[in-house]
């Protein structure tokens, strides 16, 4: 019989970080605390409290595999992940029987998934996407080696449907894969699915696929009255939504939502993990599904309607206040993104703002306080007076 080695298991509990390293962490904490106050330019909600979930950080959990097929690795949160997907199914106009999805590490992965399915279904399809599309999409297209054509967009950031129609008309022998935005990154513009489908119908292209990038607005549109057509009920084949944006989370996350029949065309069983290999990553975060589940349960539809309503109030306030001080701010309908001419350097240095060309924007998320908005507008007023 084998005898056990005589030394004990390493004791990690008593290990203490040295003083210098501890100081580094303290400094980081300080830095993030002050940056949070001036972060108004990116769509990441800072207002959340996941303290009740901290205890799950002690487990080496991993959600590898298809959340709906079961897996040999049972230290997972697949049951919570499934509930998250089913909640999003309800919010995106698809029956739970017809839908499949999983929790991703962000909007980019969900877009990659949609474009991957589209390419598997129509291997020689062409992807049409507007010039206002998120920068990650051209990278995904290069990665997947998919033919693609960039479509012009109007000054609000919405796709130019005439340019779309013209491009599809020239390539009528190839199935179109339309990449639509429900909330563009810079201006929050929405590419309307009814207009896109009209184009597809006029050009007689029954073999078509529509993916919707709803990274940010996917958690806004379900909670406004009469949103423009954007989801499965309006003809989408797949939708990507980020979890760390409108909902807010310390760990980037999102959901890839697809019509189940599309996913079934690519699924492949893998014996080693005893699961269907339907996701892009192998090992997957098991904490983020828990966070999304928690936030969805905590707020419920009514809570999110209030949070979204609060965002619209703040956006309207900022837009109006900026115009009153002579800054030409504007907003797309159904958007909490306030767009204005790129402010002077002093403002860009102090505030964490996103700029693109000659425009910049602030995003009136629930985590941006009224005081913060006021301070920003005061700063803007001082700077405009200086340059006037
Ligand atoms: C943020 C964003 C993305 C990328 O999402 P990540 O969660 O950062 O990967 C894609 N599209 C749009 C419109 C976005 O706003």
What is the DSSP track for 277-296? --SSSSS--SHHHHHHHHHH
pLDDT band at 12 (very low <50, low <70, confident <90, very high): low
SS3 300: helix
Q: HEC profile for 89-129?
A: HHHCCCCCCCEEEEEECCHHHHHHHHHHHHHHHCCCCEEEE
SS3 53: helix
Strands 147-151 and 126-130, bridge-based pairing: parallel
pLDDT higher than threshold 60 for residue 272: no
pLDDT band at 264 (very low <50, low <70, confident <90, very high): confident
Strand order in the sheet with 337-341: 337-341, 359-363, 354-356
pLDDT higher than threshold 90 for residue 195: yes
User: Mean pLDDT highest for which of 131-135, 271-275, 382-386?
Assistant: 131-135
Q: What pLDDT score was predicted for residue 356?
A: 87
Distance CA 62, CA 77 (A): 8
Q: Which of 95, 164, 177, 106 is nearest to 131 (CA)?
A: 164
pLDDT higher than threshold 90 for residue 386: no
Span 76-92, pLDDT tens digits: 999 999 999 999 999 99
pLDDT band at 13 (very low <50, low <70, confident <90, very high): low
Q: What pLDDT score was predicted for residue 186?
A: 95
Question: Which phi and psi angles does 257 have, rounded to 5°?
Answer: -120, 130
**Is residue 136 within 6 Å of ligand 1 at its C-beta?**
yes
335 carries an active-site annotation: yes
Query: What is the pLDDT averaged over residues 248-270?
Result: 87
Query: What is the pLDDT averaged over residues 316-326?
Result: 97
- Expressed in angstroms, the distance from the first to the final Cα of the chain is 88
Instruction: For ligand 1, pick from 105, 130, 159, 185 the residue to mutate: most ligand atoms within 8 Å of CB.
Output: 185
Distance CA 81, CA 101 (A): 9
Query: What is the pLDDT averaged over residues 220-226?
Result: 97
Distance CA 380, CA 283 (A): 46
pLDDT band at 71 (very low <50, low <70, confident <90, very high): confident
Cα-to-centroid distance, 242 and ligand 1 (Å): 7
pLDDT band at 273 (very low <50, low <70, confident <90, very high): low
Span 100-134, pLDDT tens digits: 999 999 999 999 999 999 999 999 999 999 999 99
Tokens representing 92?
């995106």
Q: Which of 356, 351, 358, 345 is nearest to 318 (CA)?
A: 351
Q: What pLDDT score was predicted for residue 274?
A: 59
Instruction: For ligand 1, pick from 141, 189, 242 the residue to mutate: most ligand atoms within 8 Å of CB.
Output: 242
Averaged pLDDT of the chain: 93
**Is residue 138 within 6 Å of ligand 1 at its C-beta?**
no
pLDDT band at 208 (very low <50, low <70, confident <90, very high): very high
The single-letter DSSP state of residue 244 is I
**Is residue 248 within 6 Å of ligand 1 at its C-beta?**
no
Contacts of 242 (CB under 8 A, 6+ apart): 43, 106, 107, 110, 215, 216, 218, 252, 253, 254
Q: What pLDDT score was predicted for residue 201?
A: 97
Q: What pLDDT score was predicted for residue 240?
A: 98
pLDDT higher than threshold 60 for residue 31: yes
Strand partners, 177: 127, 209
**Is residue 133 within 6 Å of ligand 1 at its C-beta?**
no
Cα-to-centroid distance, 211 and ligand 1 (Å): 14
> Which residue, chain included where needed, has tokens 């292209």?
205
pLDDT higher than threshold 70 for residue 269: no
Q: Which of 157, 127, 131 is nearest to 143 (CA)?
A: 127
Ligand 1, atom nearest to 181 Cα: 13
From the list 34, 238, 335, 369, the catalytic residue is: 335
Q: What pLDDT score was predicted for residue 5?
A: 73
Query: What is the pLDDT averaged over residues 125-154?
Result: 96
Strand partners, 275: 270
pLDDT higher than threshold 70 for residue 164: yes
């Amino acid at each position: 019989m084998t005898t056990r080695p005589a030394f004990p298991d390493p004791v990690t509990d008593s290990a203490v970080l040295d003083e210098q390293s501890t100081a580094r962490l303290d400094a980081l904490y300080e830095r993030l605390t002050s940056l949070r106050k001036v972060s108004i330019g990116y769509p990441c909600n800072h207002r959340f409290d996941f303290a009740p979930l901290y205890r799950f950080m002690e487990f080496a959990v991993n959600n590898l595999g298809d959340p709906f097929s079961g897996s040999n690795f049972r230290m997972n949160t697949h049951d919570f992940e499934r509930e998250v997907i089913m909640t999003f199914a309800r919010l995106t106009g698809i029956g739970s029987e017809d839908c499949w999805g999983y929790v991703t590490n962000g909007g980019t992965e969900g877009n990659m998934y949609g474009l991957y399915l589209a390419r598997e279904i129509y291997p020689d399809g062409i992807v049409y996407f507007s010039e206002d599309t998120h920068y990650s999409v051209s990278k995904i297209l290069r990665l997947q080696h998919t033919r693609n054509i960039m479509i012009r967009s109007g000054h609000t950031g919405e796709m130019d449907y005439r340019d779309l129609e013209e491009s599809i008309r020239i390539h009528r022998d190839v199935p179109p894969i339309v990449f639509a935005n429900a909330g563009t990154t810079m201006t929050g513009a929405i590419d309307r699915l009814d207009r896109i489908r009209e184009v597809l119908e006029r050009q007689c292209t029954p073999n078509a696929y529509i993916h919707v990038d709803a990274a940010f607005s996917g958690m806004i549109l379900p909670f406004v009255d009469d949103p423009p057509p954007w989801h499965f009920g309006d003809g989408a084949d797949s939708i990507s939504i980020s979890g760390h944006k409108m909902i807010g989370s310390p760990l980037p996350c999102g959901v890839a939502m697809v019509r189940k029949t599309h996913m079934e065309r690519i699924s492949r069983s893998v014996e080693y993990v005893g699961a269907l290999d339907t996701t892009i990553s192998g090992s997957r975060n098991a904490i983020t599904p828990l966070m999304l589940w928690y936030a969805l349960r905590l707020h419920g539809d009514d809570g999110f309607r209030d949070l979204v309503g609060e965002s619209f109030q703040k956006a309207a306030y900022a837009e109006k206040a900026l115009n009153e001080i002579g800054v030409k701010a504007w907003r797309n309908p159904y958007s909490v993104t306030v767009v204005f001419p790129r402010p002077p350097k002093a403002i860009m240095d102090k505030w964490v703002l996103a700029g693109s060309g000659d425009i910049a924007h602030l995003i009136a998320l629930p985590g941006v306080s009224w005081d913060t908005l006021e301070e920003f507008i005061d700063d803007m007023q001082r700077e405009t007076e200086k340059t006037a």
